[in-house]
Structure 1
Amino acid sequence: MLKCAIIGLGKIAQTSHVPAYLSRRVKKKISVVGGVDISEENSKDFKKLIPGAEIFSNTDDLFKNLDIDFVDICVPPSLHAKYLNAALKYNVGIICEKPFTKELKEAALLKRKLLEKKPVFIPCHQYKYSPVWKNFKSFSDKTTGGNFLQFNIFRNTADLGYDKNNPGWRTDKKLSGGGILSDTGTHYLYLSSWILDKPIQVSVFNDTLKHNKYSVEDTSVVILKCEKGIAEINLTWAADRRANNAFISDGKRSMSYDGKKICFYDKDKAKEIHVPDASDKRTYLAFYEDLFLDFANAMKAKKFDRSLIEESYESVKLLDLCYKSAEKKKTLIVS
C-alpha cells in the first residue's frame, strides 16, 4: 500500500482528489496518511473526510513525522515550485496539479532537477483519460493531417476556492499566473498538442468582457497551428451559463460533442457514440482515479517517465507563449 500526503487541502483536494483516493479502485493501492495546509478550516474539513490523516503546517514537519511514498500537490500554481522542490529534497514520488508552475523560468529549472533526480512523476493532465477526448485522439490518429479541431468552454464566473482569506485566488494573477487561459485553457492546450501533435504557431486574443474586478482575462481565444491541423480554443468566464462543446473534421469525416454525446459523421452516415455524462461528478472523478492508478503502477515498478516531465514543461512553455502572443498582438512561432 502506497502512502500519500496531500499538499494543499482546499477545494480541489477535497472535491476531486480525496474522493478519487477513497474510490473502490484506488483505495486498494493508495492510502492518504497526511496533509499540509496553513488553513485551520481546510485542515478541519479535510480531517472529516480522512479522520486518520495527520495534518502539518509545513513539509519539513510532515517528512520528519511520517513515512511518505509520494506527495500530491494541490496548492495554487504560485506555490508549485516550492513544494516540487520539497518533494525532490525528500526523494519521494510526485503528483502535481496543473499548470506545472506559474513561471516559465521555474518550469525550466524544475524540469532539469526532475530529469536529474528521476522521481516517479505525473502532472494532473487528467483530461487525457476522458473517453470523449480519447475518441477525438483516435479520430486524428487515423488521419495524416488537415484536421480542424475546436473547443468551446463557456462559464459565467470563475470557480471560488475554499480558503476564506482568498476564495478568488483564480483571478489573482500573483497566485494563479493568469485568468481562464491559465486556469482552464491549460487543459485544452495539452489536449490540442496530444490530439494534433506538436504545436507550430500560436495566436491569442485575451480580453475582459464581463468581470472587470478580475485582475486577469475572463475570455481567451487561442488559434494553435499543429503538425496535424489547426485547433481553435474558445474560453470564457463571461457567458450566461455553463456549457461545453467540441468539433473535429479532416474534410471527409467529422466528430462533434455537445456535452452529452458524440456524433460521428462519415459521408452520409451518422453514428452516435456513447460517452459518460459530463455533468455527472463521477465521470470527472474517474479521470483522476485512472491517473492515480497509473501513478501507483509506476511507483510499484519504479518507472521513471521522462515524457511526462517534458509534457509538463511544454504545457507551461506554450501557455507562456500564448500570453506573449496576446500581449504583442501577433502570431508567434513555437520553438
Structure 2
Amino acid sequence: PGRQDACRSALPGARWHDSVESLLASDDLDFVDICTPPSSHAGLIEAALARSLHVLCEKPLVGSLAELDRLAVLARAAGVAFHTVHNWHHAPLVRAADAAIRAGRIGAVREVVWQTLRTRPAVAANGDGWRVDPEIGGGGVLTDHGWHVSYVIPRWVGARPEAVSARLETRRHRRFAVEDTATVRLHFPDAVADIVLTWAADIRENHARVIGTAGRIEIEDDTLVLTAEGREERRRYPPPLSDGSAHPDWFTAIADEFIARVRDRGARASSTNLDEAAVCIAVEHGARESSRGGGERRALSAGAVGSAR
C-alpha cells in the first residue's frame, strides 16, 4: 500500500489496476512495458502477446532459449513487437567505443577486459530484494550484470562467443543464496574476453580495455582513452558508467528502438535484439555449468532466434 500511494502521488493522472489480468483486459492498451522481477517475465510476456500487445521487457528477458523461441514465435504470429532493454548499448561512452571500433580505429579486436565493481547488490535498506533470491532473480551478480556484458562485448568483437569458462563465488555477502563474484572468460573465433563482475569490491567503478591489431581503447568509468597510430585521444563522457542503476538518460534511445519495432508490426519479430538476448542466455547457462565443473570450458550454441523468422 505504501508503494501504491507513493506511485499515485507521483503519477496522479494514471489509472491503477488491482491485477495484471484487469490491466491487460483494458481496451485502450497498445503496448506493455514489463519492469517486474525476472521470474515473472515469461508469463507476463505471454499474457500480453495473447492480447496482441506490443511488449517491451527489462533484462534478463527470460530464463531459457526454449522460452525465448516460444515467445518470439507467438510475437510473430500476433504481428507485434517483442523487444528487451539492452540499455548499455546507449551509454554515451559505450557508443563512442562502438563508433571507434566500427570505423576501424583500433583494427580487429583481439582482446577485451571488463570489470564491473560494486560494493553490494541493489537491494532494499534491510538487505532484502529479488536480486539476491535465486527463485525470483534467477542468480546473483552474473545474472544482474553478466547480461549487459554478454551483449556489449560481442558487438565490440564483431562475433558470437563460441565457448565460456567461469568461476562463481561468494566472497563477502554470505547471507545471500547467490554468487557475489563471477570471473568469466568468453572465447571467440579470433578473440578472448576476460570479465570480472562483483558485488564484493571496495569501490563502485567500471573499467574496460579493448585491444585491437592497430590500437586500443581504455575505459575508466567516465573517460575513454583511444591509442592508435602513435597518438592518444582522451575524452570524458559524464556521468560515470557506475553512476546509479537505472540510467534514465539512456532510455530515450531504447524508446526509439521500440517504436521502430512497433512500426514494423512484428515483421522482424526475431531481431538483432532477440538474437543478442539468446547469446546472453547461453552465456549465463554455460558459465554456470562451467563453474559447477570447476571452471572447465563449455561450448556455446546460441544461434539466431531462428524459429521466429
Q: TM-score, normalised by structure 2?
A: 0.87
Measured in 2, the distance between the counterparts of 1:280 and 1:240 equals 15
Measured in 2, the distance between the counterparts of 1:180 and 1:158 equals 8
**3-state SS of 1:98 partner:** coil
Q: Deviations over 1:172-193 (max 9, x none)?
A: 1000111000011111111112
Measured in 2, the distance between the counterparts of 1:115 and 1:303 equals 6
Q: Give the residue type in structure 2 aligned to 1:110.
A: L
Q: Deviations over 1:51-83 (max 9, x none)?
A: 111122322211334511100011111000110
Q: 2:144 aligned with 1:209, yes or no?
A: no
Measured in 1, the distance between the counterparts of 2:281 and 2:76 equals 16
Q: 2:15 aligned with 1:54, yes or no?
A: yes
Partner of 1:246: 208
Q: Contact 2:216/2:227 (CA < 8 Å) preserved in 1?
A: yes
Q: 2:296 aligned with 1:333, yes or no?
A: no
Taking structure 1 as reference, are residues 195 and 93 closer, same or farther at Cα in structure 2, changes over 3 Å only? Answer: same
**3-state SS of 1:221 partner:** strand
Q: Percent identity?
A: 24
Measured in 1, the distance between the counterparts of 2:245 and 2:10 equals 17
Q: Contact 1:277/1:283 (CA < 8 Å) preserved in 2?
A: no
Q: Deviations over 1:120-179 (max 9, x none)?
A: 1220111111222223223433266452111111111111159x8x94210110001110
**3-state SS of 1:294 partner:** helix
**3-state SS of 1:199 partner:** coil
From 221, 225, 234, the equivalent of 2:187 is 225
Q: Which has the higher contact order (CA 8 A, sep 6+)?
A: 2
Displacement of 1:288:
1.1
Partner of 2:110: 147
Measured in 1, the distance between the counterparts of 2:245 and 2:146 equals 22
Measured in 2, the distance between the counterparts of 1:282 and 1:234 equals 18
Residues 34-183 of structure 1 mapped to structure 2, 5 A cutoff: 40-141=1-102, 142=104, 145-161=108-124, 167-183=128-144
Taking structure 1 as reference, are residues 282 and 211 closer, same or farther at Cα in structure 2, changes over 3 Å only? Answer: closer
Displacement of 1:252:
3.0
Q: TM-score, normalised by structure 1?
A: 0.81
Q: Contact 1:152/1:245 (CA < 8 Å) preserved in 2?
A: yes
Partner of 2:250: 287
Measured in 2, the distance between the counterparts of 1:63 and 1:80 equals 15
Measured in 1, the distance between the counterparts of 2:187 and 2:100 equals 18
Displacement of 1:228:
4.8
Q: Contact 2:80/2:262 (CA < 8 Å) preserved in 1?
A: no
Partner of 1:19: none
Aligned length: 294
Which stretch shows the higher mean deviation, 260-269 or 111-120?
111-120
